[in-house]
Each structure stands twice: as C-alpha cells, then as structure tokens.
Amino acid sequence: MEDRDTFLREFRGETLGTVSAQSSPDEIFQNQTIRPILKLQNDLFLAVFINYINKNKRDFYSYSVEKKLQTIENSIQKDIKFRNSLKGIVMALFTIEEYDTYIQNSSNLNKRMMNLVIERLKSKVQLFEVEVK
C-alpha cells in the first residue's frame, strides 16, 4: 500500500492553491488532494461530460452559453449516478490516508469536490460548441 500511496502523491504533483496556518482542514484537503487530482483528471472529466451530454442531453449543442452553463451545473447536482461516477474518478486517486480523512467529512468534501468539477467544466464551455462523437 505504501508504494501505491507514494506513487499517487508523486504522480499527482504539488499542492494547488494556498495552504496556511489559518486554512481549515477541508481547505487543506481540497488544495493538497482534490485540486491536484482534478488537474490530472481534467481531460477525462471533459470526455466523461461529452459522453454524458451525447447520451442524455442531445440538444445541448444548440443551447445558449447561459443554458449550457446551467445544464452543466444541474447535471452534476441532480443526476446522482453521474455525480457518483465523477466522485469515483477523484476518489480512485486518493491514498489510504486521504481516504481516511475524506470519510471523516465526506459530505462537505463532496460539495467542494463537485463545485470544483462544475467550475472546471464551465470554464471549458467553449469546447462544447460542436457535437463530438
């Protein structure tokens, strides 16, 4: 297990965002664990979302930018299966120690995680202009 944990930490890279003495435990976890994973998995999140809209939101590409942004948010917030698959993409890269930390406050950390995924997808909305199959 130690080899896996060491590999994951090195593979993901450094902390993203600021961590200080005033940072809350959730903020530290977000910046040391969640953000590096999201950055690493960015292309996969884009591919997963494109697959999701191609299967579930056929007319997504004809939406206005504002409606696309709302659809991204609603898809992640309201589609439990989709949200759980996105969480799994992140959690698969947790170390055992990080998983132990995560389960202590999973509800709040899930909110942070999904908000970051939503913002990441929204920032790439221009990539969702033409249908990709």
Give every CB contact of residue 109 below 8 A, 6+ residues apart in sequence: 26, 29, 30, 34, 102
Q: What is the pTM for the complete model shown?
A: 0.86
What is the tens place of the pLDDT at every residue in 46-101? 999 999 999 998 899 999 999 999 999 999 999 999 999 999 999 999 999 999 99
Burial class (CB in 10 A: 0-12, 13-18, 19+), 34: buried
